Amino acid sequence: MLKLGIIGTNWITEQFIQAALSTKKYQLTSVYSRTEEKAQQVATKYEAGEVFTSLADFFAQGSFDVVYIASPNSLHFEQAKAALEAGKNVIVEKPAFSNPTEMATITALLAKKPQLFLFEGARHVYEPNFQITKQAIQTLDQVQGATLVYMKYSSRYDQVLAGKTPNIFSPKFSGGSLQDLGVYVVYDAVSWFGVPDDVHYFANLLPTGVDGRGTAILTYPGFNVTLIFGKNATSYLPSEIYGLHETLVLAPNAADLAQVTRYQPDGKTVELGEPADENPMTHEAEAFYSMMTTQDHQMANSALKTSQAVNQVLFKLRQSAGIEFAADQGN
């Protein structure tokens, strides 16, 4: 059983804790939060014995084997770096890092500590329907393009409308819709079609300095992939991958892959997907445990290379739209 530490006490942290505990392969031992009350609430709820309000103490004294980092995006880099330097394995919630410079620093540090693991928490990549989709794409007679959609209204956009700048919509914290939801469909494209030759992002920019929603075009040899994502509106469009005679339809969207349907030339459909788990993070928790306990660095390195490619594409898309983060200064 792996001992788990967490940074962050928000809803996604609890979802991961619940997923990890449901596998019976993790024990939550250590909780960090800037406020002791929040840390104690989570520790009590999930029977963790250690509570910290100092990150230095958390890494120096915490008894955990692996840390799950779900802090604001801009904090991921320093916290992951500190974890690796303390000899801890790392699961960092997507997007892992703000730019390729941060990613390169972390991968260089990992190279010096080959016994450690670092994973990006792109949970849908580890779900069965993601791999079913990938395999189905390989059976298409010709790939002619795709439209991948993930757009959900964020309650925190109400704060933007009120003239405020919540972390998720702040360039100081590496926020915006591309980083938060666009990362899912960028993962889809890179994993299913490879690294694009060129990218363009047509962003709906907010007064806060980041994107509220937008459309990205990824160019591949012979076809394009269109990405539609956002946090200040909700889309109910499914996603589609176009073959010559067949089409794959992903519903309800390209991140929550509850259904994978193949539409045949005669109009008939074949359901390819499996029922989705109640907690979408269970499969990634299982995968991370397996890689760490079996020392499967080959699979982990493959996942890291995909993370690096996604990081590069996200950065190029931001450059295309003129979106700059505080973390980019000096890069």
pLDDT in tens, 63-113: 999 999 999 999 999 999 999 999 999 999 999 999 999 999 999 999 999
Structural domain contains residue 97 = yes
226 with 265, same domain? yes
CATH for 180 = 3.30.360.10
**Does the pLDDT value for residue 53 go beyond 70?**
yes
Name the average pLDDT for the chain. Answer: 97
**Does the pLDDT value for residue 11 go beyond 90?**
yes
Smallest CA-to-CA distance from 237 within 219, 215, 220 is with 215
pLDDT grade, residue 169 (50/70/90)? very high
260 with 305, same domain? no
Which residue is listed with tokens 């693991």?
A: 117
Tell me the pLDDT tens digit for each residue of 78-89: 999 999 999 999
Smallest CA-to-CA distance from 179 within 314, 296, 300 is with 314
Structural domain contains residue 171 = yes
* Cα–Cα dist 66/290, whole Å: 13
Structural domain contains residue 324 = no
The whole-number pLDDT of residue 156 equals: 97
pLDDT grade, residue 3 (50/70/90)? very high
State phi, psi for 195 to the nearest 5 degrees.
-75, 130
Averaged pLDDT for residues 39-62:
97
**Its pTM surpasses 0.75:** yes
Report whether 153 contacts 233 (CB < 8 A). yes
146 with 87, same domain? no
CATH for 76 = 3.40.50.720
244 with 297, same domain? no
Structural domain contains residue 319 = no
102 with 139, same domain? no
- Report which residue type is found at 132: I
177 with 269, same domain? yes
Smallest CA-to-CA distance from 272 within 255, 257, 282 is with 257
Report whether 93 contacts 121 (CB < 8 A). yes
**Does the pLDDT value for residue 330 go beyond 80?**
no
Structural domain contains residue 317 = no
Smallest CA-to-CA distance from 4 within 82, 64, 91 is with 64
The whole-number pLDDT of residue 5 equals: 98
Between the alpha carbon of residue 118 and those of residues 10, 300, 325, the distances in Å are: 21, 8, 23
91 with 233, same domain? no
| End-to-end alpha carbon distance in the chain | 40
226 with 109, same domain? no
Which structural domain, as residue segments, surrounds residue 215? 125-282
Tell me the pLDDT tens digit for each residue of 278-301: 999 999 999 999 999 999 999 999
**Does the pLDDT value for residue 331 go beyond 80?**
no
Sign of the Cα pseudo-torsion (126, 127, 128, 130, in order): negative
What size, in residues, is the chain?
A: 331
Of all residues in the chain, what percent carry a pLDDT higher than 90? 98
Show Cβ contacts of residue 309 under 8 Å, excluding neighbours closer than 6 positions.
190, 195
Smallest CA-to-CA distance from 291 within 131, 126, 48 is with 126
Return the SS3 of 83: helix
19 with 147, same domain? no
Structural domain contains residue 48 = yes
Structural domain contains residue 6 = yes
Structural domain contains residue 320 = no
142 with 29, same domain? no
Tally Cβ neighbours within 10 Å of residue 16. Answer: 25
Count of domains forming the chain: 2
Question: For residue 269, what are its two tokens?
Answer: 């459909």
- Report which residue type is found at 234: T
Residue 188 is inside which H or E element, if any? Answer: helix 183-193
146 with 117, same domain? no
Tell me the pLDDT tens digit for each residue of 248-268: 999 999 999 999 999 999 989
105 with 149, same domain? no
